[in-house]
Amino acid sequence: DGGITQSPKYLFRKEGQNVTLSCEQNLNHDAMYWYRQDPGQGLRLIYYSQIVNDFQKGDIAEGYSVSREKKESFPLTVTSAQKNPTAFYLCASSNRDYPGANVLTFGAGSRLTVL
Amino acid sequence: DQQVKQNSPSLSVQEGRISILNCDYTNSMFDYFLWYKKYPAEGPTFLISISSIKDKNEDGRFTVFLNKSAKHLSLHIVPSQPGDSAVYFCAASLSGAGSYQLTFGKGTKLSVIP
């Protein structure tokens, strides 16, 4: 089955530690994304990557870093510089077919809690 | 500044009736609008989209209406089923390179009562 796999599903971190969230897709999509969701809030874009070895900052990139060395993988590192890292993190991918809406396929999410 | 607004945090509807979820936007340059459905602790799943050049798009029980002059869109679910109970997000994007940056509303929690 094609899809997006995020791991771990739950993660606990002590303040001051960096943590990396994994995202792998086998949909052969070119573009990948990281969103953050907080309670009562919409999804906010952290980073996105249109192609391998290229990525752009979204609306809330501060305190986060990404890499895109392979088409299938787009890991997100939450650094100690992120002031409020506790959140639900969603990875997504899309195959950007023109014209039309850019339909994202989402993973099941990773919940990060900072203790 | 919120560019996509869903002003109703929650909505309750009887099974079999129509559910109407609303969304307003401020950026008149948006070209595409999408609706996603999300269950707790899961990722959102795509429901339906509409281009700014259309005023209606239908897919089974789901219909999206777009009123560009009012910068308003709505999702109609007919008939509503208990399995429709979820949080619904409205999203919008520009076209071209801008299509990579979807802007989401805060969501509306729909509860369908059996």
What's the N-to-C CA distance of chain B in angstroms? 38
Mean pLDDT value of segment A26-44: 93
Nearest chain A CA: its distance from B107 CA (Å)? 6
List A residues 10-69 in contact with B (Cβ-Cβ < 8 A): 31, 33, 35, 40-45, 48, 50, 56, 58-59
Burial label for B89, CB within 10 Å (0-12, 13-18, 19+), is buried
Model pLDDT, residue A100? 81
- Using CA atoms, how far apart are residues B31 and A14, in angstroms rounded to an integer? 42
Residues of chain B with pLDDT under 50: none
What is the reported pLDDT for B96?
82
pLDDT digits (tens, 9 = 90+) for A54-101: 999 999 999 999 999 999 999 999 998 888 999 999 999 998 766 788
Residue A18 Cα, gap to closest chain B Cα (Å): 23
Q: What pLDDT, on a 0 to 100 scale, did the predictor assign at position A101?
A: 87
Report d(CA A61, CA A2) in Å as an integer. 28
| pLDDT tens digits, A23-32 | 999 999 999 9
